[in-house]
A and B are shown apart, each in its own frame.
Chain A
């Protein structure tokens, strides 16, 4: 998976980190100190469809079958997350109780073309 630079052309992962202190949320969020809200952006030209690493998804499988059979679908491929991981959080709720939870699929680790 590519990491986006300043000039974005092909599908890549854009790192985006928010420090809770910077947005005055550090009083109620005990941990972690920030959130990596990475996201995917960039082009997915036809020759990149299905790369990297998400051939297992249904969409990619169908798409590659259409391509193999030379069917021009005029469908375009999208740049989407291929790997995500949970965000473990410890925070105060409105009753001043401490809550700890693992929120699934919150952090994008890598991107690919469908």
Chain B
């Protein structure tokens, strides 16, 4: 293709087809990383159980899940205003989650904010799977509390009640706990590890505890966020 002078988009000097394809693939990779504000492709070291992943994606309203497990994306809830909107599903770091009938379920979520980036939380909720009581004659309502633990604190010490809810647990099912303000305050504080404790106590038994690290019913956090672009404000001032 012979380009016309002075028109940057009018074609490049002729290249070998393979070389051209390799160059285009590198372009595409770089463009995707730039648009996702990533310096390099994430290195996936720990896998989330596929069943847990599919449950979370279904809750994310990001579309339907085909029979073969691949995802059919549909236009989910529009994130208002500019193009730097995200929906995030974060799984608790299981290395720091107690498994079994501990008095409360302690969860740790890791967040890494880029320097100079501040995030506005539009909406956030914690998804917890509560089991039904083993006693069929028992009241089907269960009191659940979510606490915010001080970073690095021991389970049960120095914690703040975030929300308390009465769950209907006629049968085991998922429940959501709004934590928008808690997550916003956490991110504004520049911390990295959000530690929450969940207590669903029935006669000393925690019905929200994990029954094993590979359970598909892993607790997870969903957040709809938007990047705040603080730099542009400063630029405006300068002008």
Contact = CB atoms under 8 A, between A and B. Distances in A.
Nearest to A11: B10
Interface in A86-110: 86, 88-104, 106
A35 B27 CA distance: 12
18 contacts: A8-B1, A18-B25, A23-B25, A25-B41, A28-B42, A30-B53, A30-B71, A43-B4, A78-B10, A88-B73, A96-B46, A97-B88, A99-B88, A99-B89, A100-B76, A100-B87, A102-B83, A103-B83
A94 B56 contact: no
A99 B79 CA distance: 13
A5 to B, nearest CB: 12
A13 to B, nearest CB: 12
Interface stretch (B29-37, B99-107, B124-132): B29-37
A100 B36 contact: no
**Closest CB pairs A-B (n = 6):** A31-B71, A98-B89, A97-B90, A100-B87, A94-B42, A37-B28
Given A8-B1, A44-B7, A103 B35 contact: yes
Interface string A42-85: 11100000000000000000000000000000011111100000
Contact of B11 (A41, A75, A88, A101): A41
B10 A79 contact: yes
Contacts of B90: 95, 97-98
Nearest to B9: A78
A30 B65 CA distance: 12
Contact of B73 (A8, A75, A90): A90
B89 A30 contact: no
Interface string A7-29: 01000000010100001010110
Given A28-B42, A31-B70, A96-B46, A101 B28 contact: no
Interface residues of B, number: 49
Contacts of B87: 99-101
Contacts of A77: 7
Given A92-B42, A96-B91, A97-B88, A41 B25 contact: no
Interface in B164-218: none
B96 to A, nearest CB: 14
A36 B24 CA distance: 11
Nearest to B71: A31
A66 to B, nearest CB: 16
Contacts of A43: 4, 10
B79 A98 contact: no
A80 B27 contact: no
B29 A106 contact: no
A19 B239 CA distance: 44
B28 A76 contact: no
A40 B86 CA distance: 29
A25 B42 CA distance: 9
A89 B33 CA distance: 12
